Amino acid sequence: MPQTVHIIGAGIAGLSAAVRLANAGRKVHLHEATQQAGGRCRSYFDAATNLTIDNGNHLLLSGNRHALAYARSIGTEAGLVGPKVAQFPFVDLSTGQRWQLDLGAGRLPLWVFDEARRVPDTGLRDYIALMPLIWAAQSKLVRDAIPCEGTLYQRLVQPLLLA
């Protein structure tokens, strides 16, 4: 008889771990404190505002191999949809400035050479400064890999880290 693995929390990480362990032949007992699985990745009606609140992950990039593997493992990969071209609208809440980051359709980051497609007031050197993230160990903190300052960090990197 397989040993039982107890997983605390049925959020996306807990569900993913449970599926992988079950597929590996382990007996899994998933513990969840709320009435539904999914953790913060859910929608709910908020009576105080009379609105349906969409909570959780709103950005799933194609490079997120683990999330895509999880969707594939539970048969939901075909349900993932997204734009043909990676374009992301941004707004700076402190100034009201709006822009769109246009990563294009290909894998090569040619968009960094086009001022109209990148974060305003940034240049090629700002993006080159992010390259240490490519080679950083998984255990390395972002602040230990790149400078956490400047326009690109404030307008793009930090908001993505906080999201």
Q: Residues 23-67: pLDDT tens digits?
A: 999 999 999 999 888 888 888 889 999 998 888 766 777 778 888
pLDDT of 101: 92
Phi, psi of 29 (to 5 degrees): -120, 115
pLDDT of 134: 93
Residues ≥6 apart with Cβ < 8 Å to 36: 42
Q: Is 118 exposed, middle or buried (0-12, 13-18, 19+ CB in 10 A)?
A: buried
Tokens 């240490």 belong to which residue?
132
pLDDT of 1: 57
pTM: 0.66
pLDDT of 159: 87
Tokens 């349906």 belong to which residue?
52
Please report, as a single letter, which amino acid is at residue 88: F
80-125 pLDDT per residue, tens: 887 778 888 999 888 899 999 999 887 888 999 999 999 999 999 9
Reply yes or no on whether the pLDDT at 11 is more than 60: yes
122-145 average pLDDT score: 95
The CATH number of domain 4-79 is 3.40.50.720: yes
The domain segmentation of the chain, as residue ranges, is: 4-79, 86-162
Please report, as a single letter, which amino acid is at residue 96: G
136-151 average pLDDT score: 94
